Amino acid sequence: MSAVGFNNATRVLGSQVTNRLRVVLALVALVVINTVLYGKPIPFDAGLERWGWLAISGVIGLALGDAFLFSAYRHVGPRLGLLLLSLAPVFGAFIAWAFFGETLSAIQILGIAITLGGISWVVLVRDENSTQNRRDWRKGVLFGILAALGQALGLVLSKQAMGDNFSPFAATLIRMIAAVSTLWVLAVFQGQAAKTVKTVMANPRGLRWAIFGAFFGPVFGVSASLLAVQHTAVGVASTIMALPPIIMLPISYFFYKEKLNWQSVLGTLVAIGGVALLFIA
């Protein structure tokens, strides 16, 4: 759902303005949610170590990683961008194993491989007739890989701060504060802050779509992802989170009126089978 919202917002506002706007909208929503649920808008009592892990995670995952993803969309389109983002579980599992000793069973590794295979099949088949400038294509591929690496590293770092059943909404708020600070400080230094505000004020339709995307993505989607890594291995959680191109199939069919071929449907079944293996394990 956030992909639909941000895709439409980007068409009106541009990718960089949408990226800066979405984190502000998400921050405001998370402050309200934390105030209602826990009686405090910002969890200052979370501890310095927890704040440190989550802040670094927010900068890497939400600010830099998503900025790379938006750039990948611009150069190679959302379909190939999503395919490259599906590398996140591979990076996440490797980082968690290399630095934090987290292991996966053979069945879970097989499930990850099958899921990634199904996702790759679906997205590549739908992109087979696209034409891209070679230089732009290479840039887009690089940005997509960096986006996947940023998402994976952000999740791994977040998991280190999610002990003692810490609230995912509070954790997402801390990450979002770091992301907002990073993106808007950069915008000020680049002389883009005032221009961003003017662009948003002049395009209420883009603002509405950004609010829609922020509600489903940075607020509830990111919070749910932290809840996922809190209760299972990073490799398993990030693999399930790599399913957006699969979930987008019915949305594309009914909302965007795109035609689906048999390869897309079969690839979807393969990916779902891989996810089933993760749960069996």
Q: How confident is the model over 113-159, as pLDDT tens digits?
A: 888 888 778 767 755 445 556 777 788 889 989 999 998 899 888 88
Structure confidence at residue 251 as a pLDDT band (50, 70, 90)? confident
Asked whether residue 97 is domain-assigned, the answer is yes
Domain annotation covers residue 116: no
- Do residues 234 and 111 touch, judged by C-beta distance below 8 A? no
d(CA 220, CA 147): 20
Q: How confident is the model at residue 280 (pLDDT cuts 50, 70, 90)?
A: low
* pLDDT for residue 59: 94
Specify if 112 maps to a domain.
Answer: no
274 part of a folded domain:
no
Q: The whole model's pTM is what?
A: 0.80
User: By residue range, what is the domain housing residue 169?
Assistant: 2-104+130-231
| Number of other residues whose CB lies within 10 A of the CB of residue 182 | 19
Q: Is pLDDT larger for residue 97 or for residue 187?
A: 187
pLDDT over 90, % of the chain: 30
The reply to whether 221 falls in a domain is yes
10-24, 29-43, 65-79 — which one is most confidently predicted on average?
29-43
Q: What is the pLDDT of residues 30-49, one digit of tens each?
A: 999 999 988 999 999 888 99
Give the number of domains in the chain.
1
* 262 or 65: which leads in pLDDT: 65
Residue 264 domain-assigned (yes or no): no
Task: Please report whether residue 276 resides in a domain.
Answer: no
Within a domain: residue 140? Answer: yes
